[in-house]
Amino acid sequence: MTEVVIYTAKDGHVELDVSLVNETVWLSMNQMMRLFGRDKSVISRHINNTFKTGELYRGSTVTKFATVQKEGDREVEREIEYYNLDVIISVGYRVNSKEGVQFRQWASGILKEHLIRGYTINKKQIAEQGIQDLQQSVELLQKTLMHHETVSDIGQEAMQLILSYAKTWNVLVAFDEGKLELPVESKEYAQRLDYKTAFHAIEALKNELVLRDEATHFFGQEREDGLHSILNNIEQTFDGNQLYKSIEEKAAHLLYFVIKDHPFTYGNKRIGCFVFLLYLKLQKTSCKFNDNGLVALALLIAESDPKQKNLIIRLITNLLTD
């Protein structure tokens, strides 16, 4: 354990020793039970589902720490499994608890502060970072096209998506200097996409697809409160400020979360694209991709490694920004 901080919920009823190791937050099963107010079977089921669906990988998100426990009158040291911030947040989305939202807001701020404080500037690494990002994009694209045998129009659109992004002068400079960041300027925020609006819109989409024999009744069946949690997540605040600063960044996270978190039993890619377009329409922002371009982007997200999330979000946000 390199550092321990104390977390207390706003109403004061939860207090946890949170371990910061390898630049992330770790909690045990018992701590997550206390945090989310659910029993072991519920938390365990949600954790197992994140691994079963391929959303997260056990090898990179679970570790064991030696922990001292009281057993009767004795103190015994045992190896206990701990889960990192990705697992904690994933479980938090699934249980959709108020405490979970509070923890995500708190953990994001603490982790950011921890990373900034511990970061040592290395000029060579910074110079190489842009090239690495671009290489990851190209490798990810190749993987997508290979797995889906994406050729012809979609293949050309996907390639153009990456090339247009990389050839923009300002983005090239940012790549070269290792300073690729989310755009600062954004269009004015117009309207929040609430759950009721999204739900009825998805139902209308489902009915239309069923009439055209392009979907079954399984399409759009929500897993617990998956969509509700995602819509709340993109609007969450930390210390009075929006966690995701721009409407483009919110839209990018909305598309990513629906496709990668599988909040529906079937049709997540189509629904992800649909609510993405719906959100942009509410913000009076036009989508800059045609049909094939949006398909290519959805496949790109679906095939991406969860470790590449930040790269994907930066890519979508920059593409949406003028």
At residue 3, does pLDDT exceed 50? no
What would the pLDDT profile of 287-308 be if each residue is shown by its tens digit? 777 777 888 888 889 888 888 8
- pLDDT of the residue at 23: 60
Domain limits of the chain?
A: 4-118, 123-322
Which position has the higher pLDDT, 179 or 134? 179
- pLDDT of the residue at 165: 46
Class of domain 123-322: mainly alpha
Of 98-112, 149-163, 266-280, minimum mean pLDDT range: 149-163
Which position has the higher pLDDT, 65 or 133? 65
- pLDDT of the residue at 150: 45
Token duo for residue 314:
């930066």
Token duo for residue 135:
């290489």
Are 42 and 94 within 8 A, CB to CB? no
Question: Of 130-144, 149-163, 168-182, 302-316, where does the model show the most confidence?
Answer: 302-316
Predicted TM-score (pTM) of the model is 0.50
Q: How many residues does the chain have?
A: 322
Which position has the higher pLDDT, 219 or 37? 219
- pLDDT of the residue at 123: 40
- pLDDT of the residue at 167: 39
Alpha-carbon distance 29 to 80, whole Å?
A: 9
Which position has the higher pLDDT, 225 or 8? 225
Region 6-19 average pLDDT: 56
Question: Of 88-92, 166-170, 197-201, where does the model show the most confidence?
Answer: 197-201
At residue 77, does pLDDT exceed 60? yes
- pLDDT of the residue at 122: 42
Which position has the higher pLDDT, 102 or 264? 264
At residue 41, does pLDDT exceed 50? yes
- pLDDT of the residue at 151: 46
Are 269 and 279 within 8 A, CB to CB? no
Alpha-carbon distance 260 to 310, whole Å?
A: 13
pLDDT band per the 50, 70, 90 thresholds, residue 183 = low
When the pLDDT of each residue in the chain is averaged and rounded to a whole number, the result is 75
Neighbouring-strand partners of residue 69: 76
Percentage, residues of the chain above pLDDT 90: 17
Which position has the higher pLDDT, 240 or 220? 220
Of 117-131, 188-202, 247-261, 276-290, minimum mean pLDDT range: 117-131
At residue 269, does pLDDT exceed 70? yes
